[in-house]
A and B are shown apart, each in its own frame.
Chain A
Amino acid sequence: MATAIEFNNVSKQYRLGLVSTKTLSHDIQRWWTINILGKEDPYLKIGSVNDRATKADSEYVWALKDIDFKVEQGDVVGIIGRNGAGKSTLLKLLSKVTGPTTGTIRARGRIGSLLEVGTGFHPEMTGRENIYLNGAILGMTKAEITRKLDEIVDFSGCERYIDTPVKRYSSGMTVRLGFAVAAFLEPEILVVDEVLAVGDAEFQKKAIGKMQNVSQGEGRTVLFVSHNMASIRQLCKTGILLKNGYVEMRGNVEDVVDYYLGSMKTVGDFNRIGNGAVRVRDCRLSKENISLGDSLDIEVDIESLSEADIVDISFDITDELGKQIAHVSNYDDEFHIPHLSKGEKKTVHCRIKNINLAPGCYMSSIWLGNPYTMYDMVLSCLRFSVSQNTTFIQRITPYDRASKVVLQSQWQ
């Protein structure tokens, strides 16, 4: 396979803080060193690793540092990482919104970038006028848009409002119209930033379906940034994990996502509340990626720091956004811990059977207590993802993204 995109030691430096007289003095110094003394830019040598949580020791920071990889033609690459890892900067460089500080990016074919839906929409203009404007901004010619106009309008589902100013549209409709235009772009390389996280469920399904067509059917190269591991898994073949501006891992999408989800859970930074009489020492999942219908095994190590009567344990399962989905308690299976003496350690096993949560990512908190007090509550310490298969339900199209449970049904 030919290489479609090649990153060659690409770095991007940003300056922190505000523009001030100090900026001016740095600029003058830089200009002096480069143009008069003929030396290299002095500020390129410094700059700290981009970790947003720590205090910066330098005013310059590397949003991306020595990024070096190739993407094959027809590959669909998912770029993941925590906030501030450099994902968006990477896409910005590739879509030529801003230039790299050092290094070279080479690509074969037209690059279409979709960092935002409906870029350049003018609220006073009608839907139709905005299709033309947005299409042209994305690089289409007028003739191209005219040829595809009917399809675009049809895909957006906004036919009735097409001659109404966009300011009268609901926000969802604006997004649909914007995505519809972008969906009919025909670049060889498509760069997409989390734009699918908008619109209603029906439209998201349509958008994901369209993305799959683009990559699979038409053999185009796609780079896709998202925080939604389920859609990354569904769409991508290769994964790239960025951390503080470096490529931490690269490979098969399943492996990279697993590694990423695993790294999110570190025992050291448990976020907890409670009086601490009994504490969670550690917790484990047998598997972090399960298929619909599988069971999930949870192990919790607990330790009592004082005498404790009646220790109840429960799990609050939430979706990625922290919305409560399910509650699992030891009473559900008539299991009891009547007493723990001081210093006693215990490991509790819990198997949740026949998981019928909709494909996606979930978190669980662990609660320890009794009807009178709360010993310990460790927030969102367990993370797992559920993927779709055809054994639990037969459908092969992506499951509705707004739904949270999957129900089995029989039809006649």
Chain B
Amino acid sequence: MNETQEWTTVIKPKDKLLAVDFKELWHYRDLATLFVKRDIITQYKQTVLGPLWFIIQPVMTVVMYMVVFGGIAGIGTDGIPQPLFYLAGTCMWQYFSDCLNKTSNTFVSNSGLFGKVYFPRLIVPVANVTSNLLRFGIQLSLFLIVYLIYSIVGCAAHVNLYVLLFPLLVVMMAGLALGFGVIISSMTTKYRDLQILFSFIVHLWMYATPIVYPLSLVKGKMVAGLDMYTVMRLNPVTPVLETFKYGFLGAGEFIGWGWLAYSFLFMVALIGFGIVIFNKTQKSFMDTV
């Protein structure tokens, strides 16, 4: 009859390296929004304090930092009030690490679902990064409230025009987490050793990012013959975090457009690479997971 009609589905052992079906991804956009909704609805079900936990966590973290790093270790904060300084870093880092931890488990924690039905697997990490925005939003409002209180008291930090970069910074944070997470998740399906390795690397990463200390502290410090100031800035999260703190608090100095562009390009390359290997993994991971 219509033997000439095109095949609509062709399943082969290997696809071309860049065969990401964006049309298909778009078809499943409703699924992404429903996953986001699910994550938000179910996160704090059957807890008494509910979303209040979003607030309690950063508050306790900040108090801890004030005691340990501000008090005991006596690390400065570029003249910014300690709660503001730590809160700014914690909010951003928390968002990054939440996204990263969740996306890096994509295959392993969804294997039940992935084993039964096909949909573009990339939907899951994208939904993860999106649903974490709610938590980030709440923590950011906490930051803004504290900020407001400080400016009423008169101990204002100096907000400047760089604050307008904020949306871009969030996109970069999300992109970096998505990129790294997707790569890690693809690598951990077969050898779980890597999962253990990555989970503490993420943990240590925080100390390689200026959160509990200002970047200015590192200036001129040499460790093992390396200029730590440059090394720190090579960490793609550093420029994002520094720009955020500079824009809202006027802390330290602007890291420079070059470093911000470096971070942005790093993110783009990371996502591109991540999608390619994620795509490669999604075909066969069910046999190895």
Contacts and interface: CB of A to CB of B under 8 A. Distances in A.
Interface stretch (A98-106, A306-314, A382-390): A98-106
A138 B113 CA distance: 11
A323 interface: no
Given A98-B286, A104-B12, A115-B117, 14 more contacts: A3-B3, A6-B7, A19-B191, A19-B192, A97-B118, A100-B13, A105-B9, A106-B9, A107-B7, A107-B10, A108-B6, A115-B116, A139-B27, A141-B30
A99 B13 contact: yes
Given A95-B117, A99-B13, A110 B8 contact: yes
A24 B288 CA distance: 12
A100 B11 contact: yes
Interface stretch (B34-42, B99-107, B171-179, B232-240): B34-42
B283 A98 contact: yes
A248 to B, nearest CB: 23
Interface in B1-32: 1-3, 5-14, 27-28, 30-31
Interface of A: 1-3, 6, 14-15, 19, 23-24, 27, 73, 92-111, 113, 115-116, 119-120, 122, 124-125, 129, 132-133, 136-139, 141-142
B115 A136 contact: no
A133 B113 CA distance: 12
A137 B117 contact: yes
A101 B3 contact: no
Interface residues of B, number: 41
B12 to A, nearest CB: 5
Contacts of A124: 41-42, 45-46
Interface string B108-129: 0000011111110000000000
B13 A92 contact: no
Nearest to A120: B113
B10 A104 contact: yes
B11 A105 contact: yes
Given A113-B117, A125-B42, A132 B7 contact: no
Contacts of B151: none
Contacts of A142: 30, 33-34
A136 B30 contact: yes
Nearest to B114: A97
Given A97-B117, A137-B117, A125 B8 contact: no
A407 B30 CA distance: 51
A223 B19 CA distance: 28
B3 A94 contact: no
Interface of B: 1-3, 5-14, 27-28, 30-31, 33-35, 37-38, 41-42, 45-46, 113-119, 190-192, 283-284, 286-288
A136 B117 contact: no
Nearest to B285: A98
A113 B118 contact: yes
A133 B11 contact: no
Contact of B10 (A24, A101, A106, A110): A106
Contacts of B27: 139, 141
A20 to B, nearest CB: 10
Contact of B12 (A73, A94, A100, A138): A100
A3 B1 CA distance: 9
Contacts of A105: 9-12
A99 B284 contact: yes
Given A98-B286, A124-B45, A125-B38, A137 B8 contact: no
Contacts of A98: 283-284, 286-287
A324 to B, nearest CB: 35
A194 to B, nearest CB: 13
Contacts of B10: 104-107
Contact of B287 (A14, A94, A103): A14
B196 to A, nearest CB: 14
Contact of A99 (B5, B31, B34, B283): B283
A200 to B, nearest CB: 23
26 contacts: A19-B288, A92-B115, A95-B118, A97-B115, A97-B117, A97-B118, A98-B284, A98-B286, A98-B287, A99-B11, A99-B13, A104-B12, A105-B12, A106-B7, A107-B7, A107-B10, A109-B9, A111-B9, A124-B46, A125-B41, A129-B37, A129-B38, A129-B41, A132-B34, A133-B38, A137-B31
A109 B8 contact: yes
B13 A101 contact: yes
Contacts of A119: 113, 116-117
A136 B34 contact: yes
Nearest to B190: A19
Given A99-B284, A142-B30, A137 B7 contact: no
A72 B47 CA distance: 54
Contacts of B12: 99-100, 104-105
Contact of A108 (B5, B30, B45): B5
Contacts of B114: 97
Nearest to A144: B30
Contacts of B7: 6, 106-108
Which of A2, A6, A98, A111 has its CB near the most chain B CB atoms (within 10 A)?
A: A98
Contacts of A129: 37-38, 41
A110 B8 CA distance: 8
Which of A99, A119, A125 has its CB near the most chain B CB atoms (within 10 A)?
A: A99
Which of B5, B11, B38, B192 has its CB near the most chain A CB atoms (within 10 A)?
A: B11
A306 to B, nearest CB: 56
